[in-house]
Amino acid sequence: MTDASSNDDQVLRVTDLRTYFPVRSRGLLSKTIGQVKAVDGVTLSVAPGETLGLVGESGCGKSTTGRTVLRLIAPTSGRIELDGDDITRMSAKQLVPLRRKAQMIFQDPYNALNPRHTVGTIIGAPFDVQSLNPAGGVRAAVQDLMERVGLNPEHYNRYPSEFSGGQRQRIGIARAVALRPKIIVCDEPVSALDVSIQAQIMNLLKDLQDDFGVSYLFVAHDLAVVRQIAHRVAVMYLGHIVELASREELYSRPLHPYTHALLSAVPLPDPRAQASREQIRLRGDLPSPINPPSGCVFHTRCFRAEERCTVEIPELREFSAGHTVACHFPMLEVIPGAVIEGPDSGLTPQPVPYIRPPSEVISDIAESGSLARAAGVDYVEGPDTPVPQ
Amino acid sequence: MTTAAQPFLSVDGLSVTFPTEDGRVQAVDGVSFSVERGKTLAIVGESGSGKSVTAQAIMGLLDRRLSVVTGHAWLAGRDIVAMSDDEVRHERGSSMAMIFQDPMSSLHPFYRIGAQLSEAVLVHQKVSKHAAREQALDMLNRVGIPDPKTRIDNYPHQLSGGMRQRVMIAMALINSPSLLIADEPTTALDVTVQAQILELIGTLQQEYDTAVVMITHDLGIVADIADNVAVMYGGRIVESGSVDEIFYHPQMPYTLGLLASVPRLDQVRAERLDPIPGNPPSPISLPPGCVFQPRCAYFDRVAGHACQTVRPELLDIGRGHRVRCHLDSGQRDQVASDVLAALAGGGV
Ligand SMILES: Nc1ncnc2c1ncn2[C@@H]1O[C@H](COP(=O)(O)OP(=O)(O)OP(=O)(O)O)[C@@H](O)[C@H]1O
Ligand SMILES: Nc1ncnc2c1ncn2[C@@H]1O[C@H](COP(=O)(O)OP(=O)(O)O)[C@@H](O)[C@H]1O
Ligand code: SF4
Ligand code: SF4
Ligand SMILES: [Mg+2]
Ligand SMILES: [Mg+2]
């Protein structure tokens, strides 16, 4: 729909963004012993009214990208421009007025809302944070919003526990659109919902986009959901964007071997089509982002890898207009019915996930909660990816 | 012993109720299905439709003090529902086994995986400790754990999510059960790992000629691995049949609604999906007529308010296809062709 690369009226422009988390040794005198390269050189932009999908396996850095562009996590390096303003190094105070322009919706409608606040308080919070008094009062504005997202305005004084999962997601959405932001980062907003509810919420997000022209950075692992909602799609692997294209291009002419593998791993709800398609089986798991593989980060699982891939980092280059890919040997053909196997998992470095002790998880939740509140977001989000040791 | 023609598992009129403070929860109501060895039945439905409770009832995992199970579940001709707790425990892990979404529900966090696998062997087979460990090693190898000789001495937390899922499958299959019930085994996994796990289950199923019941909410998984499908809604089977019947000749408005709700990877759909309105029913206050009536777009086509007042029966419409709906066959065909035409005619 929009030509994202040429004009400069982008709502969000991210250049060479890196977010590294320090890995510390345990004990009293804990030292930094390494870095999790959660986001490692991401460049993307989102146009007004556009949805950019961000897909990839668990732990590839989607959520970290989403949170960093909202400055809920401090970037290690790179540049973030929100509606023309460079927000990369802004202080929390400087950021406050800009919070009106960018909001977030989280995955877990069960843990995401403060259970002690009424729906009215939750949806009205952005007005308080920004010290805004809408004409007609906050209550009327909130009830309008409730109506708009398909909630009964009479439930203004109810608590989140009295709502179903889908309704809670509507509450989160009402809150996010309250101040008519330019962009909303949606982190897996429909992943926890049943298919019928998921479709209702996707329709709602589309309607709001049509009405307000809001942009979405839509983080999801479900490629079918992303095809339904996104205009352009970025595929992430180990902190890198490996392919970025319009929806039509990405799903009909994927070029990166990883994109092929991801697409072919999704079973189609159509037995005959499913039995006759290209099947690429990746072996093993995602390598550790602490010690990412040399050269192309995908080479340990790639079925097309050659010597060159282990030493030379493939640059993200434009293959056709608006279609960029980071691969030395992009795939130009699809082989229906072919079964392609990735390298044996024995060769794949296996990550050893570190199960976080409950105390750490709690402090983490508290931390993201306070970050979220500082951002004018009334969410407390649970951890999704275990942090590797 | 069963012969190939007979189903290995035959569930007949299975019902489960939980007496709770809020009232009687009718979680499963008169569920019947059967599975042959080597075949896969998929049970599909939204959350709360009674899939997991059905599985737990068959596996004898429901606490008898907190639940009432009626009906029959014939396992190779013997009724599990009528068995004592000890008898069911013996069947579990030998002739039948279950895997779950969360592998830690089957694995003990403080024991090495090798010890847990060997223990499972020793409970059901009269073999030496050494032989049990050899079996454990062989099983880890079969489920595709890299470097099993090292991994056998790992604790569960030292493995990735996908590897833990493999170890749980190894646990379930180590005594080569004839029935495997898998309750959303890949829901928490990435699609790439999911594909590996589904392939693994399929391979082992062929090897051991296992009857598999796959519980899922994902129609893609159903299409990928099922021979037969049962669609559940509000504790009941509302439609069942071969995988081709369900995907290419669906008849029940709920099944049609599900198919219309899923976004497709391989097709351009209309900008807006056409989802089922409203929310799934609460098992405490089920509507008196058709359980799907409050969300159904077609109930007014049925004369005399039958949808609001009379529970439809599961009707056999031929080719092994059953439908629970008051619409007559002409009406059902009309509804189905309208919905399927709208789906095919989408287009972005
Ligand atoms: N606070 C943190 N401290 C250290 N490492 C972190 C932290 N947050 C995330 N990580 C690590 O950064 C990497 C990217 O995590 P992120 O949550 O962005 O992934 P994701 O793509 O959103 O995955 P998922 O699909 O599971 O949500 C992971 O390896 C994760 O363990
Ligand atoms: N132990 C229990 N006590 C009371 N209600 C239960 C219990 N277990 C399940 N239920 C209820 O039974 C219904 C069916 O649950 P379940 O089989 O888990 O659904 P699903 O199809 O999602 O697996 C749900 O409404 C659930 O809340
Ligand atoms: S650069 Fe090489 S290893 Fe990387 S995706 Fe392309 S072919 Fe595979
Ligand atoms: S019985 Fe009536 S309400 Fe139920 S699915 Fe059929 S038409 Fe709809
Ligand atoms: Mg995430
Ligand atoms: Mg369940």
For residue A125 the two structure tokens come to: 């919070």
pLDDT tens for each residue of A115-125: 899 999 999 99
- As for the ipTM of the complex, it is 0.89
* A111 close to B (CB below 8 A): no
Residue A174 scores a pLDDT above 50:
yes
Chain A interface test: which of B266, B296, B339 (most A C-beta within 10 Å):
B266
Task: Answer whether A269 sits within 8 Å of B160, measured CB to CB.
Answer: no
pLDDT of residue A192 exceeding 50, the answer is: yes
Residues B340, B305 contacting (CB under 8 angstroms): no
* A288-316 per-residue burial string, b: 16 or more CB within 10 A, e: under 16: bbbebbebbbbbbbbbbbeeebeeeebeb
Q: Which residue of A has its CA nearest to B220?
A: A269
Look at A166 and A337; give whichever has higher pLDDT.
Answer: A166
**Per-residue pLDDT at B267:** 78
- Report the pLDDT value the prediction gives residue A334, as an integer from 0 to 100: 62
Say yes or no for a CB contact (<8 Å) between A194 and B247: no
Ligand 3 centre and the CA of A295: distance in Å?
A: 9
Distance CA A221, CA A235 (A): 10
- Taking the mean position of all CA atoms in its chain, how far away is CA A315? 22
Question: At residue B338, what is the residue type?
Answer: D
Query: Which residues between 49 and 78 in chain A have a beta carbon less than 8 angstroms from any beta carbon of chain B?
Result: 57-58
Residue nearest to atom 31 of ligand 1 (CA): A387
Assess if residue A149 is contained within a domain: yes
CA distance A249 to A255: 9
Domain extent listing, chain B: 106-175, 247-344
Last residue of a domain, one of A175, A193, A215: A175
Q: What is the pLDDT of residue A357?
A: 30
Q: Which residues are within 8 A (CB) of B223 and not within 5 positions of it... i.e. 6 or more apart?
A: A267, A268, A269, A270, A271, A274, B243, B247
**The one-letter amino acid at A200:** Q
CB atoms within 10 A of CB B47: 14
Residue A83, CB-side half-sphere exposure with 13 Å CA sphere = 16
Residue with tokens 């029966």, as numbered in its chain: B313
- Final residue of a structural domain among A158, A175, A192: A175
Write out residues 19-78 of B within 8 Å (CB-CB) of A.
46-47
Contact B275 A221 (CB under 8 A): no
Q: Is residue A340 part of a domain?
A: no
Nearest to B263 among A58, A227, A345 (CB): A227
Q: Does a structural domain hold residue A336?
A: no
Asked if B8 and B178 count as a contact pair (C-beta separation under 8 A), the reply is yes
Tell which of A175, A208, A225 closes a domain.
A175
Domain carrying residue A160: 108-175
**Which residue puts its alpha carbon closest to atom 27 of ligand 2?**
B48
Has residue A189 been placed in a domain?
no
Q: Is residue A205 part of a domain?
A: no
Residue B115 has pLDDT above 70, yes or no: yes
Collect all residues of chain A within an 8 Å Cβ-Cβ radius of residue B49: none
Strands (DSSP E) contained in chain A are: 12-24, 32-46, 51-55, 77-82, 85-86, 102-105, 183-187, 215-219, 232-237, 240-246, 279-281, 317-320, 323-325, 339-341
Q: Do B195 and A267 touch (CB under 8 A)?
A: yes
Domain membership flag for residue A129: yes
- Residues of chain A numbered 293-352 and touching chain B (CB < 8 Å): 344-346, 348, 350-352
Model confidence at A1, pLDDT cuts 50, 70, 90, reads very low
Query: Tens digits of per-residue pLDDT, A268-307?
Result: 999 999 988 878 888 777 788 888 899 999 999 999 999 9
Number of domains in chain A: 2
A113 within some domain = yes
The band of B163, judged by pLDDT with boundaries at 50, 70 and 90, is: confident
3-state secondary structure of A200: helix
Please identify which residue in the block is written with the tokens 């590839």: A60
Please give the Cα distance from A19 to A86 (Å, whole number). 17
Cβ–Cβ below 8 Å for A223 and B146: no
